[in-house]
Amino acid sequence: MTTLELRNISKSYGSVRAVNDVSLSVPAGCHTAIVGPSGSGKTTLLRLIAGFEAPDAGSLLLSGAPLADGNGTFVPAHKRQVGYLPQDGALFPHLSVAANIAFGIAHEPADVRERRVQELAEMVVLDRAMLARYPHELSGGQQQRVGIARALAQRPKLILLDEPFSALDTGLRAATRKATTELLDAAGVTALLVTHDQAEALSFSDQIAVMRDGRIAQSGPPVDLYLRPRDPITATFLGDAIILAAQLSGDGWSTSVLGSLPVDDSTRLGPASIMLRPEQVTMVGGSAADCSAQGHVLDLEFIGHSCVVTVDVAGTRVQVRCAVGGAPKVGARVSLAVNGPAHVLS
C-alpha cells in the first residue's frame, strides 16, 4: 500500500521552476531520502508535502486522500497530520520539554497527554528528569530526540525530516542518524528525509530520489542507484566514480584503457561511458599477469583510512584507493585489476 503519492507536481517562484513535474510514490513504512545539491528543489518539495506551500500543478495524495491538486483542493499544514522535523529541531524555547512534546496533542485530556509524553520520552531514550527542563538546557542530540518525540505525538502517518542531522557534529551525527532510523522503524512511521549529504541518504533509506534542477533525476533502492546510476552527474554525486570512454561489443564486454572488462549491458554496441566504483579496482606494484592494465603513479593523497592514488594509464588518469601501508611511491609502475562488471551510463 502506498502512503504518499506525488503526481506531476510543479511549483514556481516567479520565473524560477523550483519543482518541475515531480512524481514519486512512497510505500507505507518506507524510509525515503530526497538527495540533491542545494538549490535542487528538494526543500521546496518537502514544504509542498508538509502543506506550507501549495503546488501550482499536479496532485498530492496521502493514503489515497487528496491533499492538493491543481484545481483548488488544498489541505493546509495544520489539517494534514504530517510530522515535521526541521534542521535544528526548532523546539519552542518558551515551553518545557514535556510541553514541547505535548504541543500537538493539546486537545487530549491531561492524563492521556501525560501518559503519551512519558511513553514518547521512553521511546526516544530521554531521561524523565529532562521533561521539566527547557530546550536551551539540552544538548544538540537531545534536542533532536525531543523534536522527533514531538512530531510523533500526534501519531502521524508520515514524518518529514529536513536535514535533521546537519547541525550536529560529526561523531554525534552518525549515532543520531542510526538511533533515528531505529526509532522510526519501531514507530512504524513512513519517513521522508531531505539532505544534501549522500552518505546520510544512502544509510538512512530504503529508497532514494536524486533531485537536480527541480526534477527527480533518478529514484530507486540505494544500492541500485549507487551501482547503476543513469548518468555521470548522479554517479559522482553518490560517491567517487571512475568514468571511462569505452567501446561496447554487444556481448557484455567492453574495451577501454583498463583493458577488456565485463559490463552490465549485453545489448548495446559502439562507444559509451562506463563507470566503476574505486572499491572495484585493486592495485598491485609492478607488472602482474592477472591484471588488465598497467600505469604509473602520478600523485598520492593520504585521507586517513586509505590513500587515493592517481594512476596514469595510457594517458588517462584513474583514481583508485589503497591501504595506507601498501601505498606505492610517486612514479612507481603499478598494475590494476577490476572486480565485478562495469556499469554502462546512458
Interface with other proteins (CB under 8 A):
13, 43-44, 47, 50-53, 76-84, 86-88, 90, 92-94, 103-104, 150-151, 153-154, 160
Cβ 90 to other proteins, closest distance in Å? 4
Angle at 90 between CA 85 and CA 92, to 5 degrees: 125
Q: 32 or 43: whose CB is closer to other proteins?
A: 43
Q: How far apart are CA 39 and CA 43, in angstroms?
A: 8
Q: How far apart are CA 91 and CA 120, in angstroms?
A: 16
Q: 50 or 272: whose CB is closer to other proteins?
A: 50
Cβ 147 to other proteins, closest distance in Å? 8
Q: 88 or 312: whose CB is closer to other proteins?
A: 88
Q: 30 or 105: whose CB is closer to other proteins?
A: 105
- Report how far apart the first and last C-alpha atoms of the chain are (Å, whole number): 32
Cβ 85 to other proteins, closest distance in Å? 8
Q: How far apart are CA 25 and CA 287, in angstroms?
A: 51
Q: 18 or 283: whose CB is closer to other proteins?
A: 18
Cβ 46 to other proteins, closest distance in Å? 10
Q: 20 or 266: whose CB is closer to other proteins?
A: 20
Cβ 20 to other proteins, closest distance in Å? 18
Q: Are strands 293-302 and 31-35 parallel, antiparallel or unpaired?
A: unpaired
Q: 74 or 253: whose CB is closer to other proteins?
A: 74
Cβ 210 to other proteins, closest distance in Å? 21
Cell readout for 166 is 546537519
Cβ 192 to other proteins, closest distance in Å? 13
